[in-house]
Amino acid sequence: MPNVIVCYKWVLDEADLRVGPGGALNLDNAGRKISEYDRNALEEAALITEKHGGTITAVSLGGPEIKASAKDALSRGPNSVILAMDPTLQAADAHTTALGLAAAVRTLSAYDLILCGEGSGDQYAQQVGPRMAALLRVPCISYVNKLTLDGDHVICERKLEEGVEVVRAQLPVVVTVLPDLNKPRIPGLKQVMGAAKKPQVVLDAKALGFGTAELTPRLSTLAVKAPLSNRKKLRVQNVAELAQQLVSALS
Amino acid sequence: MSKIWVISEQTATLLELTGEARRLADAKPGTVTAVALQDRTAAEAALAHGADEALWLKLAENQPLEAAAVTLSELMRDAQPNLVLFGATLRARDLAAQVAAHLGAALGSCATALRVQADGHAEFERIVYGGGGVSTQAFTGPLQLLTISPRTFAAPAANTRGTSIREVNVPVDARVTITARKARAQTGADIAGATVVVGVGRGLSKKEDLAAVQQVASKLGGAVGCTRPVAEDLQWLPEETYIGISGRKIAPQLYLALGLSGQVQHLAGMRDSKLVVAINKDEKAPIFEHADVGLVAALETALPTLIDELTKLGR
Ligand SMILES: Cc1cc2nc3c(=O)[nH]c(=O)nc-3n(C[C@H](O)[C@H](O)[C@H](O)COP(=O)(O)OP(=O)(O)OC[C@H]3O[C@@H](n4cnc5c(N)ncnc54)[C@H](O)[C@@H]3O)c2cc1C
């Protein structure tokens, strides 16, 4: 029976983005959510264990804000959650995040499959899954939109630029998933209530074995701005006027 | 001396990166090493377009590209390049992330612009928040890895430098095997190259109304595209016609946005349109902030009228 690990990121909701003076992005009032593709990873873990049995451990990394994510994550199927949580991890880059998640994974006695979203809804750097696989010395199968367990192997379809690549790999592996893999269910009241009773483990930077080397960011962000938009924003009153505009644009 | 490495499994992308690396290396001065994956002719082409030396990493037929990660990181550990540019194809992004992890190095993902300072420090721009932001980032350490979207740089002119190609065999990772490859069938309109695109969103109340959208598009001489939910959730239009950060990027003369809200992920794919015209029944829809011309109307009534009006105008 497979032991499945799902990594998820508690991201700022990009729908709450506001553009301030000079095009600066304002996220002060933005809510948080489980990154979209990570919900596909959670759903896939639920589908796998419904079929094959086994356990699901959810793992997330971040600052104290991720505490609030645990119930949401647990209502989507995992048996327990590990929060790699420390104030120093609040703005962790991909390097630190992958090291921290790998360290959290190593605290578990055994695992077969690690599922990650293909990229996160905020940075979308698409690094954490492959980086973690490299650190754990297991294969990474990325961009997967179909996954089948076959004994101690997994068969995955990778959706790539020119078509599909079918890969068979020996467990344990890291798999990063695409949104068309499945349709995440919306947790019901029963799942939400049940989530409150499930175990949560917190690992701080020290418990992860982190020193300055691990915590030193490899990248620094100099600025984040809204992309330029200087459209005319002219309102027309009826379809005839609109048609006029369309036709004159083409002549 | 600066050392720049460029890596891609696509010949055209490898050459673009080689050209840019040559330009940077000539300014420093420094050397350019091109790494070809899979194809020896790509290594030869890089040598003819500005690379001082080339490496050819040979993978077994049934091995995914990412199986080269350990070999590549060992080569880089020996050579100690300052700047490594990968073409940001899907496979190479995965490969680059694994290499970065093996080296404990920084990796900038899918950069859309690159600037290298006199001291060799690189800064780059990339899109964040699903297209809602552009982030400028810098490396803090000496080993700078970056994936760069194909076609960011122009194809270079011929410039023969070195002649030596070093062949490196990538050991087989027995844990992973490619068992099949299936080419993708192209079924939808070619919206990436169209001069007029009509984009339709979830505001279209029924699939049958696509006929009217199609009619508007033909009157304007354009192709029909859509938002992601229209392709992926409703499956009313083929996947290769959805526009956005995770779909196609378009740059037409005219983009007519019909019944779509204008979420950042969609905007990221149509931002380069010359003129944007939008119809939406909600006057507060974000698309109006990103349109040159806007009309508040319901598509059910607006579409038939639009067809009539275009006919009247001789279309
Ligand atoms: C990681 C990620 C990546 C994504 N990538 C993409 C991408 O590449 N491309 C993309 O398009 N989306 C993408 N999305 C989805 C995106 O966030 C939006 O959900 C999507 O673009 C919305 O599509 P829509 O505008 O068709 O639908 P909605 O947001 O539901 O908007 C429908 C609009 O139609 C209007 N409307 C309703 N009825 C009528 C009517 N009768 N007449 C006129 N107007 C009407 C409404 O006012 C509304 O504005 C992505 C999301 C995530 C999380």
The pLDDT of residue B180: 97
Residue holding tokens 């499956």? B235
The pLDDT of residue A64: 98
Closest alpha carbon to B147 in B1, B271, B10, B246 = B10
Distance from C-alpha of A61 to C-alpha of A203, rounded to nearest angstrom: 9
- Candidate from B101, B133, B137 with C-beta closest to A25: B133
3-class SS at A145?
Answer: strand
Interface test with A, best of B72, B99, B107, B290 (most A CBs within 10 A): B107
**pLDDT tens digits for range B92-146:** 999 999 999 999 999 999 998 999 998 889 999 999 998 889 999 999 889 999 9
Does B193 score more than 80 pLDDT? yes
pLDDT tier, A195 (very low <50, low <70, confident <90, very high otherwise): very high
The pLDDT of residue A132: 98
The pLDDT of residue A229: 77
- Indicate the burial class of A68 (C-beta count within 10 angstroms; 0-12, 13-18, 19 or more): exposed
pLDDT tier, A27 (very low <50, low <70, confident <90, very high otherwise): confident
Ligand 1 lined by B245 (C-beta under 6 Å): yes
Mean predicted lDDT score pLDDT of chain B: 94
How many CA atoms within 13 Å lie on the side-chain side of B94? Answer: 26
Q: Which chain B residues touch A231 with a CB distance below 8 Å?
A: 276, 289-292
- The answer to whether B286 and B261 have CB atoms below 8 angstroms apart is yes
**pLDDT tens digits for range A219-234:** 999 999 988 778 999 9
- The answer to whether B77 and B116 have CB atoms below 8 angstroms apart is no
* C-alpha distance from residue B294 to each of A249, B286, B287, B288, B311 (Å): 14, 11, 9, 6, 20
- The answer to whether A219 and B106 have CB atoms below 8 angstroms apart is yes
The Cβ of residue B101 has, within 10 Å, a number of other Cβ atoms equal to: 27
ipTM confidence score: 0.94
Q: Which chain A residues touch B127 with a CB distance below 8 Å?
A: 124, 227
The answer to whether the CB atoms of A225 and B133 lie below 8 A apart is yes
- Residue type present at position A110: A
- Residue type present at position B208: E
Ligand 1 lined by B109 (C-beta under 6 Å): no
Query: Atom 45, ligand 1: which residue's CA is nearest?
Result: B203
Does A15 score more than 90 pLDDT? no
Does B78 score more than 90 pLDDT? yes
The pLDDT of residue B221: 95
Does A38 score more than 90 pLDDT? yes
The pLDDT of residue B19: 97
Does B246 score more than 90 pLDDT? no
Q: Is the peptide bond before A87 cis (omega within 30 degrees of 0)?
A: no
Ligand 1 lined by B202 (C-beta under 6 Å): yes
Q: Where are the beta strands (DSSP E) in chain A?
A: 3-7, 10-12, 18-19, 25-26, 32-34, 55-62, 80-85, 113-117, 140-150, 153-160, 163-170, 173-177, 200-203, 219-225, 234-235
- Candidate from B177, B289, B309 with C-beta closest to A243: B309
- Averaged pLDDT, A192-200: 97
Helix ranges (H only) for chain B are 11-27, 40-47, 69-79, 90-103, 210-219, 228, 264-270, 299-312
Interface test with B, best of A17, A132, A231 (most B CBs within 10 A): A231
The pLDDT of residue B185: 74
**pLDDT tens digits for range A176-194:** 999 999 999 999 999 999 9
The pLDDT of residue A208: 97
The pLDDT of residue B162: 85
The Cβ of residue B271 has, within 10 Å, a number of other Cβ atoms equal to: 17
The pLDDT of residue B24: 95
**pLDDT tens digits for range B273-308:** 999 999 999 999 999 999 999 999 999 999 999 999
Q: Between residues B55 and A18, which one has the greater pLDDT?
A: B55
Please name each of the domains of chain A with its CATH number.
Answer: 3-250 (3.40.50.620)
- The answer to whether A79 and A45 have CB atoms below 8 angstroms apart is no
Angle made by CA atoms B19, B22, B26, in degrees to the nearest 5: 145
* C-alpha distance from residue B312 to each of A191, B223, B307, B309 (Å): 58, 21, 9, 5
Mean predicted lDDT score pLDDT of chain A: 95
Q: Could you tell me what percent of chain B has a pLDDT over 70?
A: 99
Written as one string, the DSSP assignment of A171-193 is: SSEEEEE-GGG--PPPP-HHHHH
Model pTM? 0.88
Residue holding tokens 């939109």? A145
Helices (H) and strands (E) in chain B, counts: 8, 16
The pLDDT of residue B50: 96
The pLDDT of residue B150: 86
- Averaged pLDDT, B20-26: 95
- Averaged pLDDT, A106-118: 96
Distance from C-alpha of A111 to C-alpha of A58, rounded to nearest angstrom: 12
Does A100 score more than 90 pLDDT? yes
**pLDDT tens digits for range A144-171:** 999 999 999 999 999 998 899 999 999 9
- The answer to whether A207 and A83 have CB atoms below 8 angstroms apart is no
Q: Number of Cβ pairs closer than 8 Å across A and B?
A: 243
The pLDDT of residue B204: 97
Q: Is the peptide bond before B150 cis (omega within 30 degrees of 0)?
A: no
- Residue type present at position B97: A
**pLDDT tens digits for range B201-227:** 999 999 999 999 999 999 999 999 999
